[in-house]
Amino acid sequence: MTTTLYSGGLVFDGTGPLLKDHAVLVEGDTIKDVAPVEKYADYQGTKVDTTGATLMPGIADCHVHLVYRGEADPSGSVEKASPAEITLRVLENAQTSLEAGITAVRDCGGRNYLEFPVRDACNSGRFLGPNIMASGKMICMTGGHGNRSGRIADGCDEVIKAVREQVHAGSDLVKIMATGGVMTPGVDPEDAHYSAEEMAAGVHEAKRFHRSSASHAQGAEGIMNAVKAGITSIEHGIFMDQECLDEMLERGTYLVPTLSAVKNIIKNKDMGIASYIVEKALRVYDRHRESFTMFYKAGGKIAMGTDAGTPFNIHGDNAMELAFMVDCGMSPLDSLKSATSVAHACMQYDNRGQLKKGFKADMLIVNGNPEEDIYMVAKPENHRSVIKNGKKVNFPS
């Protein structure tokens, strides 16, 4: 089997400090060895020179919406599109993400399962794309956040039925809406939507069928309901309080902060975004940053996620989330971990997200040292190449 040796520059293995004078040997689609470069002084196979650059694992984005393209009104755009057009958008967005170094994504809410065939095609290698996990339809209460496209369910029995429907349709995880949100009219992000009992019923049913779970949860009461139910990850976590934080730390719950979502709405507030969305984004912005910082300082598990597809939150710009996290006080090294080993662990990929023997060779080569300048990763123009399953990604221009 063909081997390739990557050497010359720095190596970030996804978990520790950047390594000098190390080489990574790839055999087929798998990492065969990570070792001091002198071990391969007599290597005669294919070589890739990474001098002046850093070799690192590919990035995982734990919260995207592949059916949306970052329009001012993403839902409205999808509602006007045919199923065929929506499916093409999913593939296009997935491939754009891969080209920008995003080798795995977790889709946290699509449209009528149209994203599932694209997921299957990318995961099987039929089409080139990132590894994709998909939740199917978001589960929400009557009138709740996401009700325009989600699976509406009220009461424990109906929530259980909704989870079973997602499992039957082929979901990889279950997404449950614990609170109101910014993007839905007439709801307050701080309000708990599902009761503690309804959340517990839904998460328990997901676990029963070996599915992980994610909860859109912004207000403190809803966050607590989801965490106590055993949710895998809290998405956004905007109004987290100390009680929520303590419970998340005790249970090992991941936070997927999606700083990009609110930040891009505010940055483009005069670009046709509905006024109610802008008003709520402005209201939550400072608190969102505070909750992220308090959770990070407490040592919580943070997995990178962007909410890509929401207004002006463009697929392919995902890695800017690392810069946003650093701006909120996270160290550059920890932001790199959050986007690689931690994010892949949140997605339950046990053989991706690290440069380690036996792991799949999903890799990114970036100029310079990203621990000194996080924009070497955050901006795709600073990327030299993306490697997926051991092969360089090269889409025709």
pLDDT of 18-41, one tens digit each?
Answer: 999 999 999 999 999 999 999 999
Strands of the sheet containing 151-152, edge to edge, are: 151-152, 139-140, 173-177, 212-217, 233-236, 254-256
Q: Which residues pair with 53 in a beta bridge?
A: 367
pLDDT beyond 90 at 1: no
Q: Please check whether residues 39 and 20 belong to one and the same domain.
A: yes
- pLDDT band (50, 70, 90) for residue 6: very high
Q: Can you give the pLDDT at residue 317?
A: 98
Q: Kindly state the average pLDDT of the residues 372-387.
A: 98
For 90-100, write each residue's pLDDT tens digit.
999 999 999 99
Residue 38 lies in domain? 3-57+351-392
Q: Please check whether residues 40 and 63 belong to one and the same domain.
A: no
For 129-147, write each residue's pLDDT tens digit.
999 999 999 999 999 999 9
Q: Please check whether residues 264 and 387 belong to one and the same domain.
A: no
In a domain, 334, yes or no: no
Q: Please check whether residues 178 and 234 belong to one and the same domain.
A: yes
For 286-320, write each residue's pLDDT tens digit.
999 999 999 999 999 999 999 999 999 999 999 99
Of 266, 294, 318, which marks where a domain is finished?
A: 318
- pLDDT band (50, 70, 90) for residue 164: very high
Q: Which residues pair with 370 in a beta bridge?
A: none
Q: Please check whether residues 216 and 256 belong to one and the same domain.
A: yes
With contact defined as beta carbons under 8 Å apart, do 194 and 225 qualify?
Answer: yes
Q: Please check whether residues 246 and 303 belong to one and the same domain.
A: yes
Q: Kindly state the average pLDDT of the residues 230-239.
A: 98
Q: Nearest to residue 202, comparing CAs of 236, 186, 223, 225?
A: 225
In a domain, 373, yes or no: yes
Decide: helix, strand or coil at residue 295. helix
Q: Can you give the pLDDT at residue 396?
A: 81
Tokens of 332: 């550059």
pLDDT beyond 80 at 188: yes
Q: Please check whether residues 124 and 185 belong to one and the same domain.
A: yes
Q: Please check whether residues 218 and 77 belong to one and the same domain.
A: yes
Q: Can you give the pLDDT at residue 395?
A: 86
With contact defined as beta carbons under 8 Å apart, do 217 and 179 qualify?
Answer: yes
In a domain, 187, yes or no: yes
Is-above-0.75 flag for pTM? yes
Q: Kindly state the average pLDDT of the residues 212-234.
A: 98
Q: Can you give the pLDDT at residue 121?
A: 98
In a domain, 327, yes or no: no
In a domain, 333, yes or no: no
Q: Please check whether residues 241 and 180 belong to one and the same domain.
A: yes
Of 276, 300, 318, which marks where a domain is finished?
A: 318
Amino acid present at 247: E
Q: Please check whether residues 19 and 44 belong to one and the same domain.
A: yes
* Total domain count, the chain: 2
For 324-378, write each residue's pLDDT tens digit.
999 999 999 999 999 999 999 999 999 999 999 999 999 999 999 999 999 999 9
Q: Nearest to residue 108, comparing CAs of 297, 236, 262?
A: 236
In a domain, 212, yes or no: yes
Q: Please check whether residues 293 and 356 belong to one and the same domain.
A: no
CATH code (residue 51): 2.30.40.10
pLDDT beyond 80 at 397: no
Q: Which residues contact 333 (CB under 8 A, 6 or more apart)?
A: 17, 18, 371
In a domain, 344, yes or no: no
Q: Please check whether residues 12 and 68 belong to one and the same domain.
A: no
pLDDT beyond 90 at 208: yes
CATH code (residue 76): 3.20.20.140
Q: Kindly state the average pLDDT of the residues 206-219.
A: 98
Chain mean pLDDT for the chain? 97
Of 301, 318, 335, which marks where a domain is finished?
A: 318
